[in-house]
Amino acid sequence: MSSDKPRVVVVGIGADGMAGLAPASRAELQRATAIYGSRRQLDLLDDTVTAQRRVWPTPLVPALGKIQDDAEDEVHIVASGDPMLHGIGGSVIRFFGADRVTVLPHVSSVTLACARLGWAVQDTEVISLMMAAPHTAIRRGGQAVVLTRDGSGPATLARLLAESGRGDSEFNVLEELGGPSERRRSMTAREWADAPPTDVDDLNVVAVRYLPDERQSQVLPDDAFEHDGQITKQSIRAITLAALAPRPGELLWDVGAGSGSISIEWCRSGPGCRAIAFEQDEVRRQRITDNAIKHGVEIEVRGAAPRSFREAILTDGGVDGVQRPTAIFVGGGTSEYQLLNTCFQHLPQGGRLVANAVTLEGEVALASCYSRLGGELRRFQHYQGAPIGSFTGWRPAMPITQWIVYKP
């Protein structure tokens, strides 16, 4: 680590201000010469803190470079609650290095919210909407503490829950937790959406118990998605997800996405998993967006492949902020050799491509690609019991040919 970087002390503070600080945190602020923070946090400091107070500029992360340029040996940052829980602490450590940063956390708003509601913290998901779209806080069950961006956040979330069939969810808005003006309001998400209060403080979290509870960890049933018949069926979806083998933080390109079921399952599979869905039909593109909102995942929807690949041609540095995909799934257009070739070309080294075909033409194309590029070729046939008069017999579904290949 470069020796010209200052030592940084990050002090967490609650809505109760200096009165709630541990002795070590109070001592650090009282001996500081320069303290950075938001206006709200700096205003919580009392007259015993004599340091120069500097309000964070916007955007915040690039301001860390200015701190490095302006500071001498040491600088202090005051942050809300626990700086390591969706706070500035992680960014400061990434920029300056863990060996130059000391973090003195305060009790977090998540812990305070769980304490007020009687929820076990380990059983409660933490969702931050500071940078994410509001619909990413929608769940099919369980409970979560949602960190909102401002006072309008609870109303937006309540409306999305009501619109996605989660209007009966228990909805608790907790403001200025730990401070003298702490307030908690509880109702259903639908009730909040129908008559949202206009006096919600910007310092708030929303604790939600999602109802009805329809959680399912593994592959979802087909009726969990809106579709027009163009959907990878549940059993084949399970096989396809196993072949795609998603890992946390990876990006999928879903080509010929149909209803978006593969993209949604990919995003649900692990933390940070993201997807770009390519679909030529405008109605289906809107349906993918609707399904993504319903399941609380973020999917970027683009037009037909490979034409829309031009918007997403990437270098290692990225273009338009879009990352090169780790994996590509081709569920539509597998009969087009050029599409398969183009998809393979867009993979990075070590990336993987999975393609499913149900037509003879698609099967021939996959076999040809397999002969040229290697990988693994599979064929699946499944049956479903169905009535035959007063008896039961097996009705076959269309066989699926699947090609899996890793780019060397």
Last residue of a domain, one of 146, 181, 209: 209
Q: Provide the pLDDT for residue 2.
A: 45
Judge whether residue 79 has pLDDT over 70. Answer: yes
Instruction: Decide if 1 is inside a domain.
Output: no
Distance of CA 162 to the CA centre of its chain: 20
Instruction: Decide if 341 is inside a domain.
Output: yes
Judgement on whether residues 275 and 357 belong to the same structural domain of the protein = yes
Q: Provide the pLDDT for residue 64.
A: 81
Better pLDDT: 309 or 152: 152
Judgement on whether residues 48 and 175 belong to the same structural domain of the protein = no
Judgement on whether residues 260 and 385 belong to the same structural domain of the protein = yes
Report residue 246: phi and psi, to 5°: -65, 145
63-77, 176-190, 245-259, 346-360: least confidently modelled range: 63-77
d(CA 407, CA 354): 11
* pLDDT tens per residue, range 285-298: 999 999 999 999 99
pTM: 0.85
Strand segments (E) across 124-189:
125-128, 143-147, 170-175, 183-188
> What's the alpha-carbon Rg for the chain, to the nearest Å?
26
* Domain CATH for 69: 3.40.1010.10
Alpha-carbon distance values, 91 to 38, 42, 94, 126 (Å): 15, 19, 5, 18
With residue 219 as reference, give the H or E element that holds it.
none
Judge whether residue 150 has pLDDT over 60. Answer: yes
Instruction: Decide if 87 is inside a domain.
Output: yes
Instruction: Decide if 286 is inside a domain.
Output: yes
* Domain CATH for 238: 3.40.50.150
Report residue 156: phi and psi, to 5°: -65, -45
**Confidence at 306, pLDDT banded by 50, 70, 90:** confident
d(CA 248, CA 272): 6
Judgement on whether residues 12 and 76 belong to the same structural domain of the protein = yes
Judgement on whether residues 275 and 402 belong to the same structural domain of the protein = yes
Q: Provide the pLDDT for residue 288.
A: 97
* Domain CATH for 161: 3.30.950.10
d(CA 1, CA 193): 50
- Single out the residue of 142, 171, 133 nearest to residue 154, CA to CA: 171
Judgement on whether residues 307 and 347 belong to the same structural domain of the protein = yes
Range of the domain at 192: 111-209
Judge whether residue 317 has pLDDT over 90. Answer: no
Instruction: Decide if 164 is inside a domain.
Output: yes
Judgement on whether residues 276 and 355 belong to the same structural domain of the protein = yes
- Number of domains observed in the structure of the chain: 3
Judgement on whether residues 132 and 82 belong to the same structural domain of the protein = no
Judge whether residue 318 has pLDDT over 50. Answer: no
* pLDDT tens per residue, range 178-231: 999 999 999 999 999 999 999 999 999 999 999 999 998 889 999 999 999 888
Last residue of a domain, one of 60, 85, 107: 107
Judge whether residue 59 has pLDDT over 80. Answer: no
Judgement on whether residues 271 and 312 belong to the same structural domain of the protein = yes
Cβ pair 238, 379 in contact under 8 A: no
Instruction: Decide if 217 is inside a domain.
Output: no
Judge whether residue 106 has pLDDT over 70. Answer: yes
Instruction: Decide if 215 is inside a domain.
Output: no
**Confidence at 1, pLDDT banded by 50, 70, 90:** very low
Judgement on whether residues 120 and 99 belong to the same structural domain of the protein = no
Last residue of a domain, one of 107, 125, 149: 107
Judge whether residue 248 has pLDDT over 80. Answer: yes
